[in-house]
Structure 1
């Protein structure tokens, strides 16, 4: 349940685009989704080591938000893949929620080389000027570096899962097809099919034959951006794919749309979000991540 892990609700704060400045990774929200909702959940960092770290990936130092129980080692690891809006306060909070459950949770900034997603005032600008320029190959390499970093900083690389939202849900699927050392994945409303571009040459449905681990897919039936037909095709492809992925499951919430876990947005559906969170924790534990 989410409620026992929160200590307060963040109040609604009026937003002035002219004065908005992102202070640090894992703070603030993207300009195109503000103001945040009064129902926004805040999880404290008591008992945790939490904050920004740097991960060397190729010739780039990739910033990441990390949270883990203070003084503990050999921890199970959850790589948290951010939404289209980057590593903002909600993603940092999710890391703290996982850390409260005993995990080393880490969310790398997978847009580091392309720019700062918080500064775009519209979704169209964010998509066209930043997100469309991020290559999948770069993202997967950064996640490999994150996996390695976690193993060198208190995490157990034999107990690693990945959890992604929205843009990151698609990436969670792709990483589950990419890394055989991963134990399990959870994809929240992540696209499985779509256009192929030079930056995104294949979608999860195109690489089902490479699926390495079971994936829990959490979706909303009212999500206009992810047709149910695409999920049905993904299910069929998985059923005919390798044994490793056949344990995958899909949960579709009838009344939910896209971003139903995003408590800082009007799309939030509390009952479905809390059910999905329970399923997520159970999924990781059932598959050796915990």
Structure 2
């Protein structure tokens, strides 16, 4: 809660409150009375703003076992046989920052698809607190369900302007973990970029494996972009992942940013580190080109 309060205060420095309300009093009330965890960051303007000029962009629907799954789609207008990027969100779901990332890929010539992978569990943008979000949505979203939804999105891409031979995946935080796992799950994936995704953890029926568990057999090259100051992902877990990957065939790699913590790419949050985010973005594009997804 203290970290969330600090983030929120920093964001409110970019906004204004009327009626003489004290900022910290407002935040205490908001955070304790149903103020959506995911909307606090969105109160600030994204640093990077990507328009839709020359793009086809908006939400489409993919049906998976009778469930309609919303997917934010962005692509160059009128183009077909496009390389495909799956964009997997943080725990906050597909909000404006994730949509903007999809548009950034579209501007580079990709068909970018960001599915709402929490749709069965609830609306991640309207949950009252981080604890509630973790308990009521994240903990109840099984990996196998996520993989099935992403499989269906890949199938949609193949029949709607995407090149089935050029498919990659990237994700942030929760989505970074999924990036590693889905790269191991689907042989159609040619490359992945995982931004500060958890590598180790407890296992249960919903989360039977973590990236460390698939590292030795992973075939897809995945680039891991991590912050040395990320207290939630200690460097010893990164070192263990590197050791496990070295025993396998994937030719994956890590870039560790010494001045960054978690969520350094999230340009709508105080955690944003512009230099490292920009460097990571360029490395992401280069990684996909290097592995034939362009």
Q: Structure 1 CA distance, aligned partners of 2:14 and 2:117?
A: 28
Instruction: Tell me the SS of whatever aligns to 1:223.
Output: coil
Q: Structure 2 CA distance, aligned partners of 1:13 and 1:146?
A: 37
Q: Structure 2 CA distance, aligned partners of 1:53 and 1:29?
A: 25
Instruction: Tell me the SS of whatever aligns to 2:113.
Output: strand
- Per-residue deviation at 1:49? 0.2
Matched with 1:50 is 57
RMSD (CA atoms) = 1.9
- Per-residue deviation at 1:212? 2.5
- Per-residue deviation at 1:121? 2.6
Q: Is 2:38 the counterpart of 1:33?
A: no
1:16-165 to structure 2, matched below 5 A, reads 30-36=38-44, 38=45, 40-165=47-172
Matched with 1:285 is 289
- Name which one, 1 or 2, has greater alpha-carbon Rg: 2
Change (3 A) 1:274 1:71: same
Q: Any unmatched runs of 5+ in structure 2?
A: 1-12, 18-25
Structure 2 counterpart of 1:240, from 242, 247, 255? 247
Change (3 A) 1:54 1:13: farther
Instruction: Tell me the SS of whatever aligns to 1:80.
Output: strand
Instruction: Tell me the SS of whatever aligns to 1:83.
Output: coil
189-198 or 99-108, larger mean C-alpha shift:
189-198
1:205-216 to structure 2, matched below 5 A, reads 205-216=212-223
Structure 2 counterpart of 1:179, from 170, 176, 186? 186
- Per-residue deviation at 1:209? 3.7
Please say if residues 157 and 164 of structure 2, whose CA atoms lie closer than 8 Å, have aligned partners that are also in contact.
Answer: yes
Change (3 A) 1:162 1:29: farther
Q: Any unmatched runs of 5+ in structure 1?
A: 1-10, 19-27
Give deviations 1:131-161, integer Å, cap 9, x for gaps: 1110000001111111111111100010000
Please say if residues 37 and 128 of structure 2, whose CA atoms lie closer than 8 Å, have aligned partners that are also in contact.
Answer: no
- Per-residue deviation at 1:181? 1.3
Please say if residues 183 and 287 of structure 1, whose CA atoms lie closer than 8 Å, have aligned partners that are also in contact.
Answer: yes
- Per-residue deviation at 1:32? 4.8
Give deviations 1:66-118, integer Å, cap 9, x for gaps: 00000000000000001110000000000000000000000000001000011
253-262 or 53-62, larger mean C-alpha shift:
53-62
Q: Structure 2 CA distance, aligned partners of 1:91 and 1:42?
A: 11
